Amino acid sequence: MQIQLQLLFFICFIFQTTCVLVSSALECITSQNPSKVAYTITVSQSGDANFTTIADALSSIPPNNNKWIKIFLKPGTYKEQIQIEWKECIFLEGSDSTTTTITFEAHDTTSESCTFSVDADNFLAKGITFKNSYNRVLKGVNPNPVPAVALKISGDKHAFYSCGFEGYQDTLWDDHGRHYFNSCYIEGAVDFIWGNGQSVYEQCAINVTGGGFITAQGRESANETSGFVFRGCKISGTGHADLGRAYRSFSRVIFINSSFSNVVNAEGWFIWNQQGHEKDVTYAEVDCTGPGADISKRVPWMKKLEISEVGQYVTQEFIDQDGWIARQPI
């Protein structure tokens, strides 16, 4: 009996300790000034920096880091496949999204195709283009596209500023967690913004390069807080696409004050394999403009939101109730 009690106390101690570690890791230490980073690591392919590869720079950061560390990439095309695990509070900054690119060509499986993936909380990127070059062919014509992910994010409190995401199918895997995108460029044709993230996209340019679907959001129940909200975005391109297809039975995508060119199909949305769940899916358009924003031929089950409902999709209410965005060193 005594041995059992000791074992129980030990398990409880380990559980409590783990909880403390997880809790503390969810908030990066920023001292008195949230704009400060602990230190900056530089990367350059020419050798005039701390490291010549992103992988080596990331390896220098200790696991369970809780202070913001910046990795600054000098201009260049970095052909690397990167996965970040157990390393939080990383700020990855490029010189500019037009001169700083992380690219790879992979397509074996969806998870293994990712050029760049983050499986940790508290990640920030600015001025970088993430690219998967597979499927991308001249004029955006590819008869047999397969998943080829440029970026996968599977952690809480991620933000991207002036970044690019280029691919053809499954370009941006917005997997789970709260995410914020500001002034980004997103390119693709088939389900190229997808996953079960709880995310806001503000002032982003969405370029449709083939026939398909812009979003495939994966909310699975009414209790899940996930969904994609697009505010002040612009959709254009050379292809044609629905705004979204129901990847799961409670899929949720909202476009607010956005501009649609005629690349957006007249019906707007596709129920796909979720027939019978039309009432559960939340697809809505609020005060959108442009030739593709004509809702007269939209699917009849598209939601019409009341003014009071629109308020819950403001950035602060939907993903930033605890003010984490302002505490990032941007």
For the annotated catalytic residues, the residue numbers are 170, 191
Fill in the DSSP letter of residue 139. Answer: G
Reading the block at residue 208, the tokens are 């449709």
**For residues 7 and 258, what is the distance between their CA atoms, to the nearest angstrom?**
58
- Is 310 exposed, middle or buried (CB count within 10 Å of its CB: 0-12, 13-18, 19+)? middle
- Alpha-carbon torsion angle 309, 313, 316, 319, nearest 10: 130
Strands 90-94 and 198-202 come out as: unpaired
Q: How many helices (H) and strands (E) does the chain have?
A: 4, 24
3-class SS of residue 109: coil
Fill in the DSSP letter of residue 258. Answer: -
Rg (CA), the chain: 21
- 3-state SS, one letter per residue, for 217-228: ECCCCCCCCCEE
* Number of CB atoms found within 10 A of residue 262's CB: 15
Reading the block at residue 154, the tokens are 């599977």
* Number of CB atoms found within 10 A of residue 211's CB: 15
Q: Do 105 and 131 touch, CB atoms closer than 8 A? A: no
